[in-house]
Amino acid sequence: MSIQEIDIGSGTMPVSVDDENRVVLIDQRALPQSLSYFDASKFEDMLYAIKHMVVRGAPSIGVAGAFGLAGYAVSITSEGKSLSREDFLKQLEKARIEIQETRPTAVNLMWETDGIYNKARELVEAESELSPGQIAERLFESARQTMDEHVRKNRKLSEYGCDFIPKDPSILTHCNAGSLAACGWGTALGVIRSAKIRGYSPTVFVDETRPRSQGARLTMWELKEDGIPSKLICDSMAGYVMANKLIDLVIVGADRIAMNGDTANKIGTYNLAVLAKYHDIPFYVAAPLSTFDRNLEEGSGIPIEHRDLDEVINVNGASITVKDAEAFNPAFDVTPASLITAIFTEVGVLRPDFKDSIAKALA
């Protein structure tokens, strides 16, 4: 069955570039109430958009960061500005660090922006006839290619993932690892979308994912767009759902995977993995290779982003607790590799021993 035969859409592109090379983001803060757009062509606006989650989800943040840095390169070399190649690289290096500090856990941001910076350095060193302005144009083109490759990679890993799920699966997922998060198609949701295209009949339990409610707002929206049956649950209901045999498997995305398979993902993922182990339910992670951190042996070294306490204290702008309440808001947790059944990637499905299978996949 071909994709065109089923009206499932190809997912929503969270990042796009218009005819005048303006970088436009879907404002994910406004969903599901409205589908609105945010112009992130200016460097400062892209920094704001990543930090404040206009764009979010590790792979989408990576692509947005690549455009942020490449767009910055274009802006400092645009007409009338003369810049030496050395100063060009220095300014780019400063901007790269600034972008990378916006969301510290999602390693795709480091991976993609390092890629843009390293390309700039190579071009400066190797192609002496290119001006900084010409190099900047190539960097922008490179960011565009990165974006275009995401859908292909996500579809590939989704196909591999489908081989591991039953024909009429009931699936639990957490946060949003759909096309909005993964720059097209999706990772965890990509597998579910591909399963539907295969002719399977997936149904999905969606964790609301407090405090930012990515499950309730974004995953529910994407599943509805695709006509895939879904039920929203509060995060605290996952144990009940598993104990009552209402799901066959769990699939989540990832923000950073260490070389031993330990996986950082949205806070609450670890709880699900422990519950799944207890109930003997497969726990799958779906992620592109750009989510693996080649410099990190194990998960204890993953930096965990802590966010504004207001996210916990307030719901829809109104306090849900006592006046002057203290709170705690780690945005991610790390699931030990021992709780993970398999990792779906674009080069195949990785199984334990993850140290070995990850090293082979990245080689």
Instruction: Give the interface with ligand MRU as residue ranges (CB under 6 A).
Output: 56-59, 175, 177, 181-182, 187, 214, 253-255, 265-266, 331
Q: For residue 359, which of 303, 300, 293, 301 has the smallest C-alpha distance?
A: 293
Active site residue 255: yes
Q: For residue 15, which of 76, 56, 74 has the smallest C-alpha distance?
A: 56
Strand 23-26 relative to strand 283-286, pairing: unpaired
Retrieve residue 251's tokens: 């699939």
Q: Decide whether 56 or 155 has the Cβ nearer to ligand MRU.
A: 56
**Could you tell me the smallest distance in angstroms from the CB atom of residue 93 to ligand MRU?**
25
Q: Decide whether 63 or 331 has the Cβ nearer to ligand MRU.
A: 331
Q: Which residues, 6 or more positions from 189, have their beta carbon under 8 angstroms from its beta carbon? A: 173, 176, 177, 178, 179, 182, 219, 222, 223
Q: Are 51 and 28 a contacting pair, CB within 8 Å?
A: no
Q: Are 177 and 188 a contacting pair, CB within 8 Å?
A: yes
Residue in this structure with the two tokens 């407090």, named with its chain if needed: 210
Q: Decide whether 140 or 270 has the Cβ nearer to ligand MRU.
A: 270
DSSP sequence for 272-283: HHHHHHHTT--E
**Could you tell me the smallest distance in angstroms from the CB atom of residue 271 to ligand MRU?**
14
**Could you tell me the smallest distance in angstroms from the CB atom of residue 151 to ligand MRU?**
13
Choosing from 27, 226, 255, 293, which is the catalytic residue? 255
**Could you tell me the smallest distance in angstroms from the CB atom of residue 87 to ligand MRU?**
33
**Could you tell me the smallest distance in angstroms from the CB atom of residue 118 to ligand MRU?**
23
Q: Decide whether 123 or 247 has the Cβ nearer to ligand MRU.
A: 247
Q: Are 178 and 142 a contacting pair, CB within 8 Å?
A: no
**Could you tell me the smallest distance in angstroms from the CB atom of residue 103 to ligand MRU?**
7
Q: For residue 287, which of 186, 152, 196, 206 has the smallest C-alpha distance?
A: 186
Closest residue by beta carbon to ligand MRU = 253
Q: Decide whether 71 or 184 has the Cβ nearer to ligand MRU.
A: 184
CA 40 – CA 71 distance, rounded (Å): 10
Q: Decide whether 214 or 345 has the Cβ nearer to ligand MRU.
A: 214
Q: For residue 112, which of 54, 159, 153 has the smallest C-alpha distance?
A: 153
CA 29 – CA 16 distance, rounded (Å): 17
Q: Which residues, 6 or more positions from 269, have their beta carbon under 8 angstroms from its beta carbon? A: 174, 175, 252, 263, 332, 333, 335
Q: Which residues are catalytic?
A: 255
